[in-house]
């Protein structure tokens, strides 16, 4: 047990999928894993462990924002030996060719700051995805026929952003979408010699103001879970 995760040692898999929403963790575990068992409910941040095609997998909520994700990712890596962490979440689209429901595989994540700012100080570290996971996810998405974009995203600290000029600069520099967690996940993975990737569905659009209807959120989310699982275990039939 750790401060924020109630699982016993051995109850968390080496591969962890991390949705922001703990109820999405429950839905994904019940829908895609065999023998899914609740392993964490501290603070309602649900985590489940089961198997996918015989491979142990944990699906653990991260909460919203980098400080929350950092707590769970740190404890998973340091205390439970997790090696592969895949964020499955939503993002706001930032380019015209990026449409609602499309999937974005985040190759890099630009930020103003992350919880690691304290140790990186003046360094502008470049958080990037694990190449093997990224390549496998791109192949899985292509095989499914899911419209998918691979490129840079923006990990912001604010959902209600009062600095439109920052979003404008991001768009001008080709950033595909905005979310709030991936950059710190990538930095922690780099620090601890782990693999990380963020697989994101475009749930709303900053240019058009469109939003994914709630009735469609589940099916889009499901596609992302399958891409993440196939990326983690690319050689499994």
User: How far is the C-alpha of 230 from the C-alpha of 228, rounded, in Å?
Assistant: 5
CA distances (Å), origin 201, targets 19, 32, 88, 143, 209: 11, 18, 8, 17, 16
Q: Which is nearer to ligand HPA, 17 or 91 (CB)?
A: 91
Among 28, 77, 86, 91, binds ligand HPA (CB under 6 A): 91
**204 counts as catalytic:** yes
Q: What angle do CA 9, 11, 13 make, to 5 degrees?
A: 105
Q: How far is the CB of 236 from ligand HPA (least distance, A)?
A: 30
Q: Is 115 in the site for ligand HPA (CB under 6 A)?
A: no
Q: Considering the complex, what minimum distance in angstroms separates the CB of residue 175 from ligand HPA? A: 12
Total binding residues for ligand HPA by CB under 6 A? 10
**227: three-class secondary structure by DSSP:** helix
Residue 136 vs 170, nearer CB to ligand HPA: 170
Residue 147 has what DSSP assignment? Answer: -
For ligand HPA, what does the binding mask look like between residues 156 and 195, x meaning CB under 6 A? x--x------------------xxx---------------
Q: From 103, 106, 97, 89, select the one nearest 208 (Cα to Cα).
A: 97
91 vs 232 by CB, closer to ligand HPA: 91
The least CB distance from residue 108 to ligand HPA, in Å, is 17
Out of 50, 92, 115, 127, which residue is the one contacting ligand HPA (CB under 6 A)? 92
Say which residues have a Cβ less than 8 Å from residue 76's Cβ, sequence separation at least 6.
Answer: 5, 12, 16, 58, 60, 82, 85
* Residue of the chain from 2, 15, 60, 90 that contacts ligand HPA (CB under 6 A): 90
Nearer to ligand HPA, 59 or 91 (CB): 91
Rounded least distance, CB 97 to ligand HPA, Å: 17
Q: Is the dihedral of CA 119, 87, 9, 189 positive or negative?
A: negative
Residue of this chain nearest to ligand HPA (CB atom): 92
Q: Which residues contact 146 (CB under 8 A, 6 or more apart)?
A: 102, 103, 223, 227
Distance CA(187)–CA(128), nearest Å, equals 8
Residue from 204, 210, 217, 222 in contact with ligand HPA (CB under 6 A): 204
181: which DSSP letter?
S
Contacts with ligand HPA by CB under 6 A lie at 90-92, 156, 159, 178-180, 203-204
Residues with a known catalytic role: 204
């Amino acid at each position: 047990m750790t401060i924020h995760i109630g699982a016993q040692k051995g109850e968390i898999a080496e591969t962890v999928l991390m949705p922001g929403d703990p109820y999405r963790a429950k839905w994904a575990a019940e829908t895609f894993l065999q023998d899914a068992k609740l392993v964490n409910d501290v603070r309602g941040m649900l985590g489940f462990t089961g198997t996918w095609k015989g491979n142990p997998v944990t699906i653990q909520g991260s909460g919203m924002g980098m400080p929350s994700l950092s707590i769970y990712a740190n404890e998973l890596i340091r205390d439970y030996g997790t090696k592969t962490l895949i964020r499955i979440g939503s993002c706001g689209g930032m380019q015209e060719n990026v449409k609602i429901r499309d999937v974005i595989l985040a190759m890099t994540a630009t930020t103003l700051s992350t919880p690691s700012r304290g140790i990186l100080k003046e360094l502008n570290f470049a958080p990037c995805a694990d190449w093997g996971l990224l390549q496998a996810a791109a192949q899985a998405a292509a095989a499914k026929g899911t419209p998918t974009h691979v490129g840079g995203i923006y990990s912001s600290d604010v959902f209600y952003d009062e600095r439109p000029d920052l979003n404008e600069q991001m768009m001008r520099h080709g950033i595909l979408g905005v979310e709030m967690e991936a950059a710190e996940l990538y930095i922690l993975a780099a620090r601890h010699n782990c693999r990380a990737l963020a697989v994101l569905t475009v749930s709303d659009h900053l240019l058009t103001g469109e939003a994914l209807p709630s009735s469609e959120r589940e099916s889009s989310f499901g596609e992302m879970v399958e891409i993440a699982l196939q990326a983690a275990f690319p050689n499994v039939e």
